[in-house]
Every structure is written in C-alpha cells, then in structure tokens.
C-alpha cells in the first residue's frame, strides 16, 4: 500500500495536478492539507473518476484537511479528542479515517505566526492535545501532514535566518519530540537523510531553485505502522512546473 501526504495549498486551484500525480504515482491513500474550501466546494468528481472516496472538513477559504482513499474509508472522525479551538471555533485541522486497515490522520498543525502571537500558545496546546490523544491509539496509525515545525537545524536551509522565529523554537521542537516519545517515529527520514532535504519552499525570492527550503511535512508512524514501511520519498519534482503548491508530496510504501 502507498500512502502520501501533501499540503496542496488550495485543492480547487490544483485538483488537476493532484489527481494527475495520484494516477502516475499509483497512490492508494492521500492525506491533504490546506484545501482552502468548504465541504460543498471540494472537487470530489475528479477523484471519484479515479476510484477514490473522499473525507473532507473545511469551513472557509482557510485551513481544510482531507483524505482520498481507494482502499476503503471507514470510521471517519473530524478532529481529535481534546483539540483546542481558536477563538471558540474548532478549526478544520484534523481528520482521521481507516483506510485498508491503517488509521490515517491528516493534520494541519497551526502555524504559530510569531513567538509573540496568540497563535503560538494555541499551536503548542494543539500539539499537546494531539500527543495526549495519539498516545491511546493502537494498531497501525499514521500521523501525517504539515506540522509547521522543523525539528532539527538541518531541516532549514539556514538556521540563522530563522532565529527567534516560529517553526524552530525550542517549545515547538519539544512538542514534536513529545509525540515521538509517545511511541511514534519519523518513518521517512531514514530513507531521505539530510541535510538539505526539504518538503517546503517559499514562493518568494526564488527559494526553490536556490534550494532554500524547510522540512516541515512528516509521516509519523506507530510501531505497527513503522515496521511495515519498506520505502519512503519526498517527491521534489512536484514542486516544479506551472502553479505548484509550495509543498512537495511525501510518500511511503507499506508491506
């Protein structure tokens, strides 16, 4: 089975690119983030034409997460227990479903914005709640998506540029590590060692051709999931071409 995650940065803008890649890459399950649409606006038909079922939650032109599966889509859950709200709104940042016997969670972790912004403690609270919830989940579980955290200095093109910024702060990295300590592992990194291996490149200042990126998209697997991983890759080529997302897909193969 082939499972992937991709921050698509607007599914309505990039549905043709996404479905074309799904067909070429022979992906069974794709978790998407930043779909940027309401449920009624999600372009379901192009996925259905390829044999995929869709689970999606989106409230507006911001956020939004989805799972596309051609191996079953069962026990769909929007949000996880204990997830905090932002200004009394439960944002569209997490959706889980069982696909071919694997519990897949598509996650779009809050950005944090700046260290002084109210979104920063919200991000840390959200990650702590995810850790608490994920600790109780059993079987093959994959926590996949855009984590908005670069866990190590080698995960950014120049640590000095990000000094005193979100994504690299000690509390954020500790929150990411807490999920690893809860029993999950980064199943992609052993196949794609760094430094210089990224999943995101800002649109500005020619960051992509200059190879000035960040590694912030991850697939974290429970022990039952991790032991089945036989291959993983970051599909950098999908950051190229006309109107790409600013993120590349991340893909794993399971026995």
**Catalytic residue of the set 52, 56, 108, 120:** 108
| Coil, strand or helix at 60 | coil
**Catalytic residue of the set 52, 167, 200, 247:** 247
7 annotated binding-site participant: yes
**Among this protein's residues, is 167 annotated catalytic?**
no
Q: Which residues contact 248 (CB under 8 A, 6 or more apart)?
A: 6, 198, 199, 200, 217, 234, 235, 236, 237, 238, 239
**Among this protein's residues, is 203 annotated catalytic?**
no
119 annotated binding-site participant: no
39 annotated binding-site participant: no
β pairing state of 185-186 and 217-221: antiparallel
Are 220 and 252 contacting, i.e. CB atoms less than 8 angstroms apart? no
Q: Which of 180, 178, 154, 182 is closest to 168 using CA atoms?
A: 154
247 annotated binding-site participant: yes
d(CA 150, CA 30): 22
246 annotated binding-site participant: yes
**Catalytic residue of the set 28, 56, 122, 146:** 146
20 annotated binding-site participant: no
In this structure, what DSSP letter does residue 188 have? S
Which residues are part of the catalytic machinery?
108, 146, 247
Binding residues for Mg(2+): 7, 34, 146, 148, 246-247
> Can you say which residues are annotated as belonging to the binding site?
7, 34, 146, 148, 246-247
């Amino acid at each position: 089975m082939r499972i992937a995650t991709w921050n698509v940065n607007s599914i309505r803008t990039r549905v043709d690119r996404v479905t074309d890649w799904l067909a070429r890459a022979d992906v069974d399950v794709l978790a998407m983030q930043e779909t940027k649409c309401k449920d009624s606006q999600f372009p379901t038909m192009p996925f259905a034409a390829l044999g995929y079922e869709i689970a999606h939650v989106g409230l507006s032109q911001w956020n939004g997460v989805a799972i596309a599966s051609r191996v079953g889509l069962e026990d769909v859950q929007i949000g996880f227990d204990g997830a905090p709200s932002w200004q009394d709104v439960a944002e569209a940042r997490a959706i889980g479903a069982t696909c071919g016997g694997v519990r897949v969670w598509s996650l779009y972790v809050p950005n944090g914005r700046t260290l002084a912004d109210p979104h920063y403690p919200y991000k840390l609270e959200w990650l702590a709640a995810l850790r608490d919830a994920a600790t109780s989940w059993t079987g093959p579980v994959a926590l996949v998506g855009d984590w908005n955290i670069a866990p190590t200095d080698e995960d950014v093109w120049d640590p000095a540029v990000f000094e005193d910024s979100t994504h690299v702060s000690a509390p954020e990295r500790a929150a990411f590590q807490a999920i690893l300590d809860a029993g999950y592992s980064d199943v992609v990194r052993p196949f794609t060692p760094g430094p210089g291996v990224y999943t995101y490149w800002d649109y500005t200042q020619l960051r992509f051709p200059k190879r000035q990126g960040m590694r912030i998209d991850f697939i974290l697997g429970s022990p039952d999931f991790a032991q089945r991983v036989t291959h993983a890759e970051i599909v950098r080529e999908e950051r190229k071409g006309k109107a790409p997302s600013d993120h590349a897909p991340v893909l794993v193969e399971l026995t």
